[in-house]
Amino acid sequence: MPFKLQVRFSGICGLVLGEDSADPVKACILLPESNHIHQTYKRNALDNEPLFRHRSFLSFNAKNLSLDERLPESLQILRYFEQERLAIKTTPLYNNSINVADLKSTADLMLISPDFAKVDPALLTIDPQNISSRLSGQVVIDQGTLRSGRGFQWNIPNTLGRDKEAEGKIAHEVFLSIEGLEKVELIFTRFNNEILEPLVLTSPQQTDVEIEIANLCEVNPLRWPTEDVKPLVDQDFRWAWELLDPATQENLVISLKENSLPLPVPHPKPVQPDGQGMNCMLPKYKNASLAGLSKALPWRD
């Protein structure tokens, strides 16, 4: 019996939808590099506020790993992104199209900072010189349905080009789902274009195969529950503007300094618990050309 694949993206993961329906890559997730290996990590955002380290990974239940001997359901497999690109190949392979079911609750930079919402085109390529120092991972998407997760109430100050403060529900996660599958291959390629042995997933019990791809903060990467429910600003959202091209970043800094304003980051309304998956909002960038990633999907040639 066929199964459904559901991939959950959360944390500091930038979403870019393709602007040209002819491109084989329909959407891309970008995972910013935060030099997590350095214990004394110090780096400031464009408004000179500190940035926290993050760690990007992929996780799924061991029971879905296709091996001669099945692993027990009590095991969870976690694989870090180490400057790698992930492509998801399915059997059967469906039409090369993406269905955007509902992304209204994503943190859309076209609404938050319309003049500063386009990701650096250099990051939407497979060129190691462009991406190795700025990304820990890329995820290329060629099919399926995208939708926002559950939204929580936040407001975002109007510091970059809007008439008023943005207010409403913003989700911290986006889901990709593909139904009617027999097999899933997770194909990792290092940024130097070395292709690694794929991870093959199946569902012998015909239950959904669930994958999480996340880039979580050092404050509480395991998302342990906490009694600390102080109203905390989503400081990590500053990472969203780290993926703009250098010239646009320079203009953004000038704009902030001229008006003595910080970057517009989400403020909780009402109180949201910190570090429990309700902050680290996933930014959505302006639609862009994804033609530079076409070679990441050789089965779509």
What is 105-163 written as a DSSP string? TSEEHHHH-TTS-PBPGGGSS--HHHHTTTEEEEEEE-SEEEEE--EEEEEE---SS-S
Give the residue from 189, 7, 186 showing the smallest Cα distance to 83: 189
Q: Is the full-model pTM beyond 0.85?
A: yes
What lies within 8 Å, CB to CB, of 228 at 6+ separation is 273, 274
Position 233 scores a pLDDT of 78
Inform me whether the pLDDT recorded for 273 exceeds 50.
Answer: no
Q: How far apart are CA 252 and CA 217, in angstroms?
A: 24
Give the count of beta carbons closer than 10 Å to the beta carbon of residue 126: 17
Position 49 scores a pLDDT of 86
Inform me whether the pLDDT recorded for 164 exceeds 80.
Answer: no
Position 206 scores a pLDDT of 74
Exposed, middle or buried: residue 145 (CB in 10 Å: 0-12, 13-18, 19+)? middle
Position 68 scores a pLDDT of 75
Integer-rounded Cα radius of gyration of the chain: 19
Position 274 scores a pLDDT of 45
Establish how many alpha carbons lie within 13 A of residue 241's alpha carbon, considering only the half-sphere containing its beta carbon: 29
Inform me whether the pLDDT recorded for 275 exceeds 50.
Answer: no
79-133: pLDDT as tens digits? 999 999 999 999 999 988 999 988 988 989 998 888 999 999 999 999 998 898 8
Q: How far apart are CA 290 and CA 100, in angstroms?
A: 16
Report the range out of 95-109, 178-192, 226-240 with the highest average pLDDT.
178-192
Per-residue confidence band for 236, with pLDDT thresholds at 50, 70 and 90: confident
- Residue that wins the pLDDT comparison between 61 and 158: 61
The label of the residue with tokens 């599958």 reads 181
The pairing of beta strand 209-217 with beta strand 84-91: unpaired
Q: Alpha helix (H) ranges present in the chain?
A: 109-112, 128-131, 246-259
Position 111 scores a pLDDT of 85
The per-residue pLDDT of the chain, averaged, comes to 86
Lowest mean pLDDT of 93-102, 211-220, 227-236, name the range.
Answer: 227-236
Position 167 scores a pLDDT of 63
How confident is the model over 146-150, as a mean pLDDT?
91
Per-residue confidence band for 1, with pLDDT thresholds at 50, 70 and 90: confident
Domain ranges for the chain: 3-300
Position 276 scores a pLDDT of 45
